[in-house]
Amino acid sequence: MLVLEEVHKTYHMGETEVHALRGVDLTIEDESFVVVMGPSGSGKSTLMHLVGCLDTPTKGHVIYDGADLGALSSRQRANYRADQVGFVFQKFNLVGTLTALENVELPLLLQDAPAGVARDKAAHALESVGLKSRMKHRPSKLSGGEQQRVAIARALVNEPRWILADEPTGNLDTTTGEYILGLLEGFVGEDRSVMLVTHNPEIAKIADVLVEICDGQIESLTKKSVKQVVTS
């Protein structure tokens, strides 16, 4: 379970302070498909960075499975990022000089996985996103949708519990975007969750939890209710 308690994030830009998050309270059960929406500058990416342990709150707590992420040492934070989360970004962020396979292997090799193990896992992850035949291609030789699938394979390869996706379909056409979305949706379950930032209201419809942020605060929180069968 993920719990945010009175989370504030303030950035200091010289003399000015930017209050990116202003008292966010949120509880997310495991195995959730969480969609975060809100205007530009409302704090969506900031929220995602805190959940992914890329940053720490200025005030308040981000607690994952009972552990306060803000209290972890830098080594523990790095381990959390490596073991528990996979990131997917709008601009794919692949290494241009590496093949698809090498890009996906990278997180494993950075964790000192044996080369053979890294290769097998990376190949398997690429296969799971339908890119078996593109493993030797460099990003420039892949379409946008294929590049995003490589990025998803890279996020999956560590078998994380969270996929954090910041506008993953923002640069893709509708059909390709729907395919990518289907892949992310399929990831949810068996102790795995997705948090996805989007501007697309259609995507909000498939969320288990819809978080709408405005001006650094949660404006509305919608949780899909579990259907209950009442027997008399």
> Rule CB under 6 A: which residues touch ligand ATP?
11, 13, 18, 20, 38, 40-46
Residue 198 Cα distances to 67, 168, 228, angstroms: 28, 8, 30
Closer residue to ligand ATP, CB minimum distance, 8 or 137: 8
**40: partner contacted, choices ligand ATP, Mg ion, none (Cβ within 5-8 A by kind):** ligand ATP
In this structure, are residues 15 and 190 in contact, taking their beta carbons and an 8 Å threshold? no
| Region of 11-19, 43-51, 109-117, 169-177 interacting with Mg ion (CB under 5 A) | 43-51
Collapsed DSSP state (helix, strand, coil) of residue 87 = strand
| By CB under 5 A, residue 198 contacts Mg ion | no
Work out how close the CB of 18 gets to ligand ATP at its nearest, in angstroms, rounded to a whole number.
4
Work out how close the CB of 9 gets to Mg ion at its nearest, in angstroms, rounded to a whole number.
13
**41: partner contacted, choices Mg ion, ligand ATP, none (Cβ within 5-8 A by kind):** ligand ATP
Q: What angle do CA 53, 186, 104 make, to 5 degrees?
A: 55
Tokens 């909000």 correspond to what residue?
A: 204
What is the crossing angle of helices 144-156 and 115-128, to 10°?
Answer: 130
Work out how close the CB of 87 gets to Mg ion at its nearest, in angstroms, rounded to a whole number.
13
From CA 108, how far away is CA 83, in angstroms rounded?
10
Query: Among residues 45, 90, 99, 169, which is the contact residue for Mg ion, using CB under 5 A?
Result: 45
| By CB under 5 A, residue 90 contacts Mg ion | no
Closer residue to Mg ion, CB minimum distance, 36 or 180: 36
- Which parts of the chain fold into alpha helices (H)? 44-51, 74-84, 100-110, 115-128, 144-156, 174-187, 201-204
Closer residue to Mg ion, CB minimum distance, 45 or 169: 45
Closer residue to ligand ATP, CB minimum distance, 125 or 209: 209
Task: Show contacts with Mg ion in window 134-193 (CB under 5 A).
Answer: none
Residue 225 Cα distances to 37, 198, 207, 222, 228, angstroms: 19, 22, 11, 9, 9
